[in-house]
Amino acid sequence: MSFRTADGANYQGRDASGHERFSVSIPYDEHGYFGRECPACQQIFRMNGEDYDALPDDLELICPYCGHRDEHSEFMTTEQRDRVMRVAQDAAMQLVTKALDKSFGSMARSTRNNRFVTVTCRSKPFYPQPLPGIDEERLVRERTCVECGVRYAVFGEHRFCPVSGALGASVVAEDALSAERIKLAALDDIPAEQRAVLREQGVFDRIAVDTLGRVVGIVEAFASSEFRRRVPTADAILKGRGNVFQRLDDTADLFAAQLDVNPRVAPDLDWEVLRRLWAARHAHVHADGRVDEKYLRAVPTTSLKVGQRIVVSSRDALSAIDLAAALCEVLGDRTI
């Protein structure tokens, strides 16, 4: 049997199991990308079509957001699935028509007894409608995995390459710090009237503090990953030391002792400013932002007194981002 198919679909014959087989094209966008949708978290990402076509058929795809692994076919987007289903529906319609033609073609066209009704069936040629198009989220920027070279695009925070898996610590840190910069820059686009309301409510102050906390967390994750990657006995050295990489001086001591990397003396890295910002973050997390004895030990040159509140400005937040990027570059072996 042959099937009529719309442009973008082709009948490929019957397989060994007796199933009819069709191929359905998934069009690329103007950049050569097409969408994938994770069956676990339902988030969309895009992959370069040329790179994707070169992948082995049996390679499992990885969701860049949640890390779910599955067969390629499980990552079809809703619009792609609708396109495939249209071909299946067209084929089913033609199979039904063929079956009806065969059945009614063998029936008598008339009877001698008028108690019976003569049934006739005249089918018309089937002309499939054009397949549904694909209009998915547009490419923002092209990313290239440093491990496998596959090009892809994401629309949110991600931790995995769709092919090679978990991203390196430097890539994660770079993305995270970039996101913090963009977040702060976006505040400038808020209309003046709304800015006044937000400022009065302390929203900008809160964002600056939250950004500082995020930056400390980014450095902590990066330093931990780098230390464990490069020091074979890391687990034994770190045992019982808690969140050591959250503490700036302890981090410096570890890298100096185990990897001969001393960030305290690195050029263009103001260690005293880093210590002040890290101490401010600790005070806001553990002391409602008020100066305590621990803050005074970390920042002995401060003019603030115990009980005073530490103000973290947007300038402080930006400085923290820049210094964190420089610190990660010193601690790692790749540029952030």
pLDDT per residue as tens, the chain (336 positions): 677 776 777 777 877 777 777 777 788 899 999 999 999 999 999 999 999 999 988 889 999 999 999 998 899 998 888 888 887 787 777 777 777 667 666 554 444 455 555 555 566 677 777 777 777 888 888 999 999 999 999 999 999 999 999 999 999 999 999 999 999 999 999 999 999 999 999 999 999 999 999 999 999 999 999 999 999 999 999 999 988 999 999 999 999 999 999 999 998 899 999 999 999 999 999 999 999 999 999 999 999 999 999 999 999 999 999 999 999 999 996 544
How far apart are the C-alpha atoms of 230 and 236, rounded to whole Å? Answer: 14
Domain limits for position 292: 168-331
How far apart are the C-alpha atoms of 73 and 79, rounded to whole Å? Answer: 14
**Does any domain span residue 249?**
yes
Among residues 222, 275, 270, 280, the alpha carbon closest in space to that of 249 is found at 275
**Does any domain span residue 183?**
yes
Q: Tokens for 273, please give them.
A: 């400013």
**Does any domain span residue 273?**
yes
How far apart are the C-alpha atoms of 83 and 77, rounded to whole Å? Answer: 10
Q: How many domains does the chain have?
A: 1
**Does any domain span residue 255?**
yes
- Quote the strand ranges of the chain, DSSP E: 9-14, 20-24, 33-37, 44-48, 61-62, 69-70, 143-144, 151-153, 160-161, 165-166
| DSSP label at residue 166 | E
* Cβ-count burial 110-140 (b if 16+ within 10 Å, e if not): eeeeeeeeeeeeeeeeeebeebeebebeebe
Strands 44-48 and 69-70: unpaired
pLDDT of residue 120: 58
pLDDT of residue 7: 77
How far apart are the C-alpha atoms of 224 and 41, rounded to whole Å? Answer: 27
The model's pTM is 0.79
**Does any domain span residue 205?**
yes
pLDDT of residue 68: 97
pLDDT of residue 336: 42
pLDDT of residue 130: 77
Residue pair 145/161 in contact (Cβ under 8 Å)? The answer is yes
**Does any domain span residue 112?**
no
| Long-range own/partner contacts, residues 307-312 (CB < 8 A, 24 or more apart) | 310/280, 310/283, 310/284, 311/205, 312/205, 312/208, 312/209, 312/212, 312/280, 312/284
How far apart are the C-alpha atoms of 163 and 302, rounded to whole Å? Answer: 50
Collapsing DSSP states into helix, strand and coil, what is residue 16?
Answer: coil
**Does any domain span residue 55?**
no
pLDDT of residue 112: 47
Q: Tokens for 119, please give them.
A: 């049934």
**Does any domain span residue 222?**
yes
pLDDT of residue 16: 78
Residue pair 147/166 in contact (Cβ under 8 Å)? The answer is no
